[in-house]
Amino acid sequence: MLFLVSNDDGIHSPGLEALARALSSLGQVVVVAPDRERSAVGHALTLHRPLRMTRVREGWFAVDGTPTDCVHLGLHGLLAEPPTMVVAGINQGANLADDLTYSGTVAVALEGTLMGVPSFAVSVVAEAEFRFGAAAEAATRIARVMAERGVPPGTFLNVNVPSRDRFEDLRGVLVTRQGKRVYGSGVVRKKDPRGREYFWIGVRELGETQRTGDTDVEAVEEGFVSVTPVRTDLTDGDSLAELRGWPWTEG
């Protein structure tokens, strides 16, 4: 197997190192990652300036761009043949519920999937003191199962793992749906040293979490690995029929 690995925490992230090391037990690993932290850039693609790729060491490449740029260049500029899988992470921090839309980590798996390569993203759920052992082991298990079973085209897996040293310290794996959380704004409003007002989006207070018993948020709270299948097709299929009946051209 050949793995293309990237992240949004940057090429020097210990989570990236842990993931690459774990996957190398299954096959060849090529890392193409941002040269610095690019968290919360979502699925941004750099179009209006050139990108530079620097070889850091054997099989490791840094790009002065976004996580999506890294996957794009890895697939279309670096690798001679498509990899077996694109894997993202291990992110330092959860990618649960609505986090998915901001996440550069999830965007790596999204980009891989859009390019036709089976993909998944792995994140460790913690605020600080990230333990990557259990997540690294979970990633190799998921890669093995995914390679064996395959996922439908247009679907990738978003994986969140409680922060533990060993896979045995987890309660197991639950297949979940993307949850729903309400956040406070977390916006700090102050004056800079020259008296001009500025805003800074800070820690967003966690509000209410929707509890339906099958969400990613609940699974990790209870000590399970959460595996959420995510579709790249954002169409709301349930609304198609009703919206087709709306009076779009009347009046």
Apex CA 5: angle with CA 12 and CA 229, to 5°? 120
Length of the chain in residues, anyone?
251
Which residue's Cβ lies closest to Mn ion? 39
Binding mask 14-53 for Mn ion (x = CB under 5 A): -------------------------x--------------
Interface with Mn ion includes 140 (CB under 5 A)?
no
The minimum distance between CB 104 and Mn ion, in angstroms, equals 6
153: left (phi over 0), alpha (psi -120 to 50) or beta: beta
The minimum distance between CB 8 and Mn ion, in angstroms, equals 4
116: left (phi over 0), alpha (psi -120 to 50) or beta: left
Would you call 31 helix, strand, or coil by DSSP?
strand
Nearer to Mn ion, 73 or 107 (CB): 107
Q: What's the rounded Cα separation, in Å, for the pair 77 and 247?
A: 48
Binding-site residue total for Mn ion (CB under 5 A)? 4
Site for Mn ion in 56-95 (CB under 5 A): 91
Binding mask 179-198 for Mn ion (x = CB under 5 A): --------------------
What DSSP line would sit under 206-217, residue for residue? EEEE---SSBHH
The minimum distance between CB 9 and Mn ion, in angstroms, equals 4
The minimum distance between CB 105 and Mn ion, in angstroms, equals 6
Interacting residue with Mn ion among 3, 5, 6, 9 (CB under 5 A): 9
Apex CA 5: angle with CA 165 and CA 92, to 5°? 40
Helical H segments across the chain, by residue range: 14-23, 67-73, 104-114, 133-149, 216-221, 237-244
Interface with Mn ion includes 8 (CB under 5 A)?
yes
Interface with Mn ion includes 215 (CB under 5 A)?
no
* Residues at the site binding Mn ion, with contacts judged by CB under 5 A: 8-9, 39, 91
